[in-house]
Amino acid sequence: MTETIHEILSAHRFLSGLPEGTVEVLAECARAETFESGRLLLHEGDVADTFHLIHPVRVSIEIHGPGHGRHILDSVGPGLTVGLSWAAPPFRCQFDARSLEPEVAVAVDSECLRARLGENPALGYALLERLASVLIGRLQVARVRLLDLYGNDSDR
Amino acid sequence: MDVGDIAVLEREGLDLLIGTLRSMGFRTIGPVVRDGAIVHGPVSGAQDLPAGWHDHQEPGRYRLEQDESPELFGWAVGPASWKSEFFAPEETLWRASITAQQVTLSEPDAATGPAAIIGARPCEVSALAVLDRVLMGGAHPDDRYAARRDGAFVVAVECGAPASTCFCPSMGTGPSARGAFDLALTELVDGGHRFHVQVGTEAGAAVMAQVPHRATEESDRSARQDVLEDAEARMGRTLDTADLPGLLARNLEHPRWEEVAERCLSCGNCTLVCPTCFCSDVSDVSDVSGTVERQRRWASCFDLDHSYLHGGPVRPTTASRYRQWLTHKLSTWWDQFDESGCVGCGRCLTWCPVGIDLTEEAAAIRAADGAVATRERRAS
Amino acid sequence: MTATAEHTGRPASQRGTLSPEPYRVTGRRIEGADVVTLALEPHHGRPLTFAHGQFNMLTAFGVGEIAISISSAPGAPGPIEHSVRDVGAVTHALCRTPIGGTVGVRGPFGTHWDIDDIEEGADVVVVVGGIGLAPLRGAVRDLVDRRRAGGGGVFVLAGMRSPDQILFAEDLEEWRRSGAHVAVTVDVGISGWPGRVGVVTTLLPDTPFDPTRCAAFACGPEIMMRFAARALVDRGVDPRQIRVSLERNMQCGVGLCGHCQLGPLLLCRDGPVVPYGGVADRLFMERQR
């Protein structure tokens, strides 16, 4: 199983170009998880202790509300990362993450990861810079979506 | 006679009992056979009761057959419960006429004359007590229900022929009569067709005083014990109620909810036949003359719109609606009304088109207490 | 209904629990964002007495009945106010009722914010979203008055949809003038808006209240209350000192119809105001409950 995780991580887009040894450090903290279609990887309100690298399918980011059912806020993937709340306090999932197709994900224990990155600051900086670029990208996209560009002018 | 007394009524005495109640002004209603089932209708004498009829019930199955046996009450329960006598399936709550000058509001009379129920099963007596607590025990009693309950006379009949779907001993509601009955009868056939009678209230005592009866003998009392012990031994199934409210409360994400949802049609039959389900829909209607009415009718938590809020149902899936029904009946009813909502009558098993058995569902959840329908973790 | 219309009805003591009392609309105010505030006075007898956060069942005769929180303060002289958002047939009819028109009233029902239970001198933080301010409006008025008389600080954080949909703007301004800390943010700004943009929880870091000695009230869409309550807890507020207002389909208002169930609660009787810690925190996370 460790071989499979290693293979997934070595080929994973998120990690491409990162320093030598990144894959090994992540693999030490990782386990494989399988999800059926429609299952939640993350629940809003849970402790955010896992950083998922998904492969190869999409995950939807959702939030539930009474009467509205599930709002689908965003989709991630294929082949990207799910989970940002593990990276900073209060370490709590803000949204649900749902697998849209059956998949295998590499789930990295974030406490283990933070400890390893503490021992290896250069690697830590590179990984967090990569994470920041994911964050910046998603925030920019969210802001532009707020414009509701395809809606009627009278609604704005 | 006094409350707590016992007596024996001969078979003919039952006619006299019904006749006495009628002469006192009661509408006597009891079990009658109609459309292949034992339902409720007016009874003017013992001849209207289901003599020789027996029911065969299983999850999703109900059959009646008749033989030569003299028993009037040789069956368990039919689809109708006494709920409909007191909690009207449909009624107008008030009428208002609106003109340019005024709004005049009036409430139609709720009571239609006191009812005497001939033949309420012990589980049904308990069910009426459960409904009483829901509809009359709060800060805002339902005065229409209360008006119909007030003055009603209940003749309970203990069970001698439980169905395979019955589980009243598990719920502490039978087979012997308990709670608020005016009279409780036990039909005895061997050694002479007669009824062992228990007097439950002053009203019951007053009625019995007018009906020819005799004192019980040891043979009558032991015959009754035999009937009850035999009934309890033949009871169809059990529901393990140990920490049942807590079990369901901590298993809201159990995989069993999705599993039962694959079978459940969300048809609401269970809520229709259940003697304690009390949900209702309220709606206002008007006509061109300016009269408006507020109407209330039975509703079901299986209706998709039952939980409608902000543009959609809160419970859009069958799994969430089945979970709501079962957790309410067996768990949150305790939080809301300090007792169980289920009396073990088994109707929801019999009348479910796909035969879902809530004793089996509860057992399945208990067998995998803590299971969660979520991701499967594999060790790396 | 003309201004001279007469309304007759049986006295409240004789009416069944499901029959409304006719009230007359004596005032209307368009708040914006499809919200109208109706001022109601009974034609017969005394106006009903109520506590902050309770609701009435309002009937638009011939259309239907709906639960609406009372938005005026108890004990304030004059009519009882309800702020109604026009989102369906019944609310549409209520919003269109003219002065002099008739509305049926049953109530008051439900639990209340219980502002009298607040520790003396403690800060009060009120986090509201949109029309969620209406059920807290009377409470905030009274709390601002108490603050003037030496009570703890009052902090009002309001999230609105956009600058042209800020509900109760005059109240917010009056409270600010009376010494309350009032901050408003909008989800989406418009050209020229100098104020904050972002969800209401973004206002918390700049709100100088003492989390160790405060009571908090949150009211608005459920998702907003979830995030607000968590943000307050992260800031150090005791979860049991946070109260929220839950909502479900309501048809009778008196615990008889079964629609307003949320797990162990009948919201017309055990709510709508409930504590966050130990009650709502768990219920918020039970999906499709």
Specify the pLDDT at position B378. Answer: 33
Backbone angles phi, psi at B43, to 5 degrees: -125, 125
For the segment C9-26, what is each residue's pLDDT rounded down to a tens digit? 455 556 778 999 999 999
Predicted ipTM of the assembly:
0.93
Q: Say which DSSP state A132 is in.
A: H
B372 touches chain C (CB under 8 A): no
Q: What is the mean pLDDT of chain C?
A: 92
Specify the pLDDT at position B321. Answer: 98
Count A/C contacts: CB-CB distance under 8 Å: 20
Which residues contact residue A93 at a Cβ distance below 8 angstroms, ignoring those fewer than 6 apart? A42, A43, A44, A45, A46, A47, A48, A83, A85
Indicate the pLDDT class of residue C5, thresholds 50, 70 and 90.
Answer: very low
CB C31 within 8 A of CB C71: no
The answer on pLDDT for C80 being more than 70 is yes
Rounded distance, CA C98 to CA A68, Å?
32
Render each residue's pLDDT in chain B as its tens digit; 380 residues: 899 999 999 999 999 999 999 999 999 999 999 999 999 999 999 999 999 999 999 999 999 999 999 999 999 999 999 999 999 999 999 999 887 667 889 999 988 889 999 999 999 999 999 999 999 999 999 999 999 999 999 999 999 999 999 999 999 999 999 999 999 999 999 999 999 999 999 999 999 999 999 999 999 999 999 999 999 999 979 999 999 999 999 999 999 999 999 999 999 999 999 999 999 999 999 988 889 999 999 999 999 999 999 889 999 999 999 999 999 999 999 999 999 999 999 999 999 999 999 999 999 999 999 988 654 333 32
Specify the pLDDT at position C152. Answer: 86
Distance from CA of B149 to the nearest CA of C (A): 16
**Closest Cβ–Cβ partner in B102, B138, B332 for C264:** B332
Rounded distance, CA B38 to CA B15, Å?
20
Per-window interface: A 39-68 vs C, CB < 8 A:
43-45, 63-66
Least confident of A61-70, B181-190, B334-343, C128-137: A61-70
Backbone angles phi, psi at A5, to 5 degrees: -60, -45
Give percent above pLDDT 90 in chain C: 83
Chains touching C, CB cut-off 8 Å, 3+ pairs: A, B
Cα–Cα distances in angstroms (integers) from residue B205 to residues A15, B6, B10, B116, B181, in the given order: 87, 10, 17, 15, 11
Indicate the pLDDT class of residue C7, thresholds 50, 70 and 90.
Answer: very low
**Closest Cβ–Cβ partner in C16, C65, C257 for B144:** C16
Specify the pLDDT at position C286. Answer: 93
Rounded distance, CA C153 to CA B127, Å?
53
The answer on pLDDT for C254 being more than 50 is yes
Of B288 and A114, more confident: A114
The mean pLDDT of A119-136, rounded to a whole number, is 92
Chain B residues with beta carbon closer than 8 angstroms to that of A36? 376
Distance in angstroms between the alpha carbons of the first and the last residue of chain C: 42
Per-window interface: C 193-232 vs A, CB < 8 A:
221-223, 226-227, 230
Cross-strand pairs, C121: none
Specify the pLDDT at position A4. Answer: 79
The answer on pLDDT for C120 being more than 50 is yes
Rg (CA), chain C: 19
The answer on pLDDT for C259 being more than 50 is yes
The answer on pLDDT for A3 being more than 80 is no
Give percent above pLDDT 70 in chain C: 95
Distance from CA of C158 to the nearest CA of A (A): 20
Least confident of A41-55, B44-58, C260-274: A41-55
Specify the pLDDT at position B331. Answer: 98
Indicate the pLDDT class of residue C3, thresholds 50, 70 and 90.
Answer: very low
Which one of A42, A43, A44, A71 makes the best mutation probe of the C interface by having the most chain C beta carbons within 10 Å?
A44
The mean pLDDT of A99-108, rounded to a whole number, is 86
Specify the pLDDT at position A154. Answer: 63
Least confident of A71-85, B163-177, C67-81, C241-255: A71-85
The answer on pLDDT for C8 being more than 50 is no
Between chains, do B314 and A66 touch, taking CB under 8 Å as contact? yes
Of C120 and B116, more confident: B116
Of C32 and A29, more confident: A29
For the segment B134-168, what is each residue's pLDDT rounded down to a tens digit? 999 999 999 999 999 999 999 999 999 999 999 99
Least confident of B285-294, C35-44, C117-126, C167-176: B285-294
The answer on pLDDT for C1 being more than 70 is no
Cα–Cα distances in angstroms (integers) from residue C268 to residues B146, B302, C103, C109, C192, in the given order: 21, 21, 20, 6, 43
Distance from CA of B143 to the nearest CA of C (A): 6
Least confident of A51-55, C54-58, C113-117: A51-55
The mean pLDDT of A97-118, rounded to a whole number, is 89
The mean pLDDT of A97-115, rounded to a whole number, is 89
For residue A30, the chain B residue with the least C-alpha distance is: B380
Chain A residues with beta carbon closer than 8 angstroms to that of B380? 1-2, 5, 30-32
**Closest Cβ–Cβ partner in A31, A65, A67 for B380:** A31
The answer on pLDDT for C6 being more than 50 is no
Q: Say which DSSP state B237 is in.
A: -
CB C252 within 8 A of CB B282: yes
Q: Say which DSSP state C122 is in.
A: -
What is the full DSSP assignment across A32-99?
EEEE-TT-EEE-TTSB--EEEEEESS-EEEEEEETTTEEEEEEEE-SS-EE--GGGSTT-B--SEEEE
Specify the pLDDT at position B380. Answer: 28
Neighbours of C235 (CB within 10 A): 16
